[in-house]
Amino acid sequence: MPAKNKELASIFTQIADAIELKGETGFKVLAYRRAARALVDSAEDVVNLDKESRLESITGIGSGIARKIHEYLATGRMKKHQEAISGLPEGLFAMLELQGLGPRTVRLLYEKLKVNNLEDLKRTIADGSAASLPGMGVRKVSTILKSIQLSEKSGKRMFLNEAAELAESVIHRLKNDPNISNITAAGSLRRGKETVGDIDILTTGKNPKEIVKNFTSHPSVRQILAAGTTKASVLFETRTGLRQVDLRIIDASSYGAALQYFTGSKGHNIALRSLAQKKGLKISEYGVFRGKKRVAGKTEKAVYTCVNLPYIEPELREDRGEIEAAAKGKLPRLVELKNIKSDLHMHTRQSDGKNSVEEMVAACQKLHYTHIAITEHSVSAGYAGGLTADELMRHCDRVDRFNAHSKGFKILKATEVDITTSGKLDYPDKILARLDLVVASIHQGFKKNVTERVCAALKNPLVHIIAHPTGRLIGKREGYDIDLDKVIETAARFRKILEINAYYGRLDLNDIWARKAKQANVKLSINTDAHAVKNLDWMKYGILVARRAWLTRNDVINCLSTSKLLKFLKTGI
């Protein structure tokens, strides 16, 4: 949606809300709401409409509204807006965002109980005064309380797994709609971004109205924000709160152009459009145009072909040099899930995992891996059932026995050894020397010389991989104070491997740092750190990070065959 359409729509909505809060009802309120809807639904930029004095050609915009739009575009202000909101506490508008709380109720709370904001509202719910207002009652209040709790949970962006699962469930249901021919997720989810704000779904098909109806009647939809003839925005209830999903129904002739546009990122789109302009072309969500003539639009690839570029994978579309690389024919051939032959960091019941070695093996064989590493925690990770040196040696004996009888699938003898607060490893070298793979990581002393300790581990000839190098937990913990440039430089010097931890709450290294590691000739390893069979499919999230980091299969040691990996671990080549 053009930026000014969006801006003006929210201004008109706020006017409607404000005058309703002040007691206005009827057609004036409706007129402002209708104008807001019309601006959202319009395919044309309100700026152009205003310039060409065509505002009133849009249904829902009369002369009064048109004048106000013009005033706002010309001066950056709208008198009616300022007048409408004056005297109203800002907190009232935030309350209106809650489901089950309309202007009439907010007004009642404001006038009778001096409720100015969400905090006041929570207080009056807790002390029972809200429920005792006329027309309120316990049931209504409990609905409002649930909305507050949901909206507090929804404040943050979604983890990649939640976004992927939500999109999948919406798409799965709509796929049964005979009206729909194509359906796919776009936006940040398609780019594999580590967190997702809202879900953008594009479809083609007949009877768009029916498709919208089908979409908005999904049983998990809690609120319909907008529902037009070719698009709709709704809030779904998920485990973590209310999440926005946008659906757009596109004409088949524009599907590629729309997919390109709504996949973003915004930065990538802007760069692509300016390249097109230099070639006398205009790219929009409807197609690629030379003057009035559409020269492409059906497929995404054709959009890129128009500006003499090869197809650019969604994960690369972040305006981080992908357009220049594409122009020079230097795009990397990105690693894919199907290239992965192993998962090299996982836990079983022997330490803090949920499943047995046998169960993890069976699950990994189903994934067509040829080998895995079981990496239990070490001695001082007592909280996580860390293995004593003896226990680790007995585990290795069992692995040797398994491998002696196993064809086409090997378990690597391995550990996830703690880098202790003193900077030493948690097992003596003679124990580590028996292992095929040593994964080292920090689990304690987050503030104690982390860079030095990690670099010391990298210098130990027995160490291969540093797991989750920054220790961040997305949205929860910043990560250690670590000098990653120095870690990467040290890893490069000693031919060591850095992990992309595929757990959706870690994704550590992230895309930016994994790319820097590659540029410094450091190999990466994508691992799930699974603590149960069902965690093994997090690999796909690690792959997305790797692709966003421009990695090819040659950068990722999980793509090596068993023998090549074992040789690499021994010799560094």
In the complex, the residues that contact Ca ion under the rule CB under 5 A are 187-188, 198, 200, 246
The 3-state DSSP class for residue 101 equals coil
Any bridge partners for residue 508, and if so which?
501
Q: Which is nearer to Zn ion, 231 or 443 (CB)?
A: 443
CB atoms within 10 A of CB 573: 6
Binding mask 160-189 for ligand DGT (x = CB under 6 A): ---------------------------xx-
Q: Which of ligand DGT, Zn ion, Ca ion, none lies near 72, with the C-beta cut-off 5 to 8 A by kind? A: none
- Dihedrals φ, ψ of 414, to 5°? -155, 175
Count the site residues for Zn ion by CB under 5 A: 2
Nearer to ligand DGT, 159 or 369 (CB): 159
Which one of 416, 418, 499, 511 is in contact with Zn ion (CB under 5 A)? 416
Whether the Cβ atoms of residue 307 and residue 278 lie closer than 8 Å to each other? no
Q: Is 120 or 200 the residue whose CB approaches ligand DGT more closely? A: 200
Minimum distance, C-beta of residue 197 to ligand DGT, in the bound complex (Å): 3
- Residue number with CB closer to Zn ion (20 or 508): 508
The bridge status of strand 158-159 relative to strand 199-205 is: unpaired
The residues facing 224 across adjacent strands are 234
Q: Which is nearer to Zn ion, 322 or 529 (CB)?
A: 529
CA–CA distances in Å: residue 202 to residues 199, 264, 283, 318, 468 = 10, 13, 18, 20, 35
The beta-strand segments (E) located in 92-145 are none
What is the smallest separation between the CB atom of 197 and Ca ion, expressed in angstroms? 5
CA distance 163 to 169: 10
Report if residue 262 touches ligand DGT, rule: CB under 6 A: yes
Q: Is 418 in the site for Zn ion (CB under 5 A)?
A: no
CA–CA gap between residue 67 and residue 75 (Å, rounded): 12
Q: Does 225 interact with ligand DGT (rule: CB under 6 A)? A: no
From 103, 208, 264, 314, residue interacting with ligand DGT (rule: CB under 6 A) = 264
| Residue 197 binds ligand DGT, judged by CB under 6 A | yes
Residues near 53 by Cβ (< 8 Å), separated by ≥ 6? none
Task: Based on the shown chain and the rule CB under 6 A, indicate whether residue 475 belongs to the binding site for ligand DGT.
Answer: no
Minimum distance between the CB of residue 163 and ligand DGT, rounded to whole angstroms?
A: 8
3-state secondary structure of 178: coil
Q: Which of 471, 469, 475, 474 is nearest to 454 (CA)?
A: 469
**DSSP class of 477:** B
Under the criterion CB under 5 A, does residue 426 sit at the interface with Zn ion? Answer: no
Give the phi and the psi of residue 546 in degrees, each rounded to 5. Answer: -60, -40
Interface segment toward Zn ion; rule CB under 5 A; list 259-267, 312-320, 508-516, 525-533:
525-533
Say how many CA atoms lie within 13 Å of 257 toward its Cβ: 21
Q: Which does 3 bind (CB under 5 to 8 A by kind): Ca ion, Zn ion, ligand DGT, none?
A: ligand DGT
Smallest distance from the beta carbon of 238 to ligand DGT, in angstroms? 15
Give me the DSSP letters along 66-126: HHHHHHHHHHS--HHHHHHHTTS-THHHHHHTSTT--HHHHHHHHHHH---SHHHHHHHHH
266: contact with ligand DGT by CB under 6 A: yes
CB of 7 to Ca ion, least distance (A): 16
Q: Judged by CB under 6 A, does residue 269 bind ligand DGT?
A: yes
- Smallest distance, ligand DGT to C-beta of residue 173, A: 21
Please say which residue, 136 or 235, places its beta carbon nearer to ligand DGT: 235
The one of Zn ion, ligand DGT, Ca ion, none whose footprint includes residue 416, by CB under 5 to 8 A per kind, is Zn ion
Q: Distance between CA 561 and CA 569 in Å, rounded? A: 12
Of 159 and 513, the one with the shorter C-beta distance to ligand DGT is: 159
- How far is residue 184's CA from residue 238's CA, in Å, rounded to a whole number? 20
Instruction: Report the residue from 265, 370, 451, 552 that binds ligand DGT according to the rule CB under 6 A.
Output: 265
CA angle 298, 1, 202 (to 5 degrees): 40
Interactions with ligand DGT, residue window 413-432 (CB under 6 A): none
Quick one: what does residue 479 bind among Ca ion, ligand DGT, Zn ion, none, with the CB cut-off 5 to 8 Å set by partner type?
A: none
Of residues 529, 546, 557, 569, which one binds Zn ion by CB under 5 A?
A: 529
From residue 200, give the alpha-carbon distance in Å to each of 170, 214, 288. 11, 16, 21
Query: Cα(319)–Cα(109) distance, rounded to whole angstroms?
Result: 48
Is residue 542 involved in binding ligand DGT (CB under 6 A)? no
List the one residue out of 529, 491, 562, 506 whose CA is nearest residue 375: 529
Judge residue 338's burial from the number of C-beta atoms within 10 Å of its C-beta, 0-12 exposed, 13-18 middle, 19 or more buried.
exposed
Binding site for Zn ion (CB under 5 A): 416, 529
Q: Which residues bind ligand DGT (CB under 6 A)?
A: 3, 187-188, 193, 196-198, 200, 261-262, 264-266, 269-270
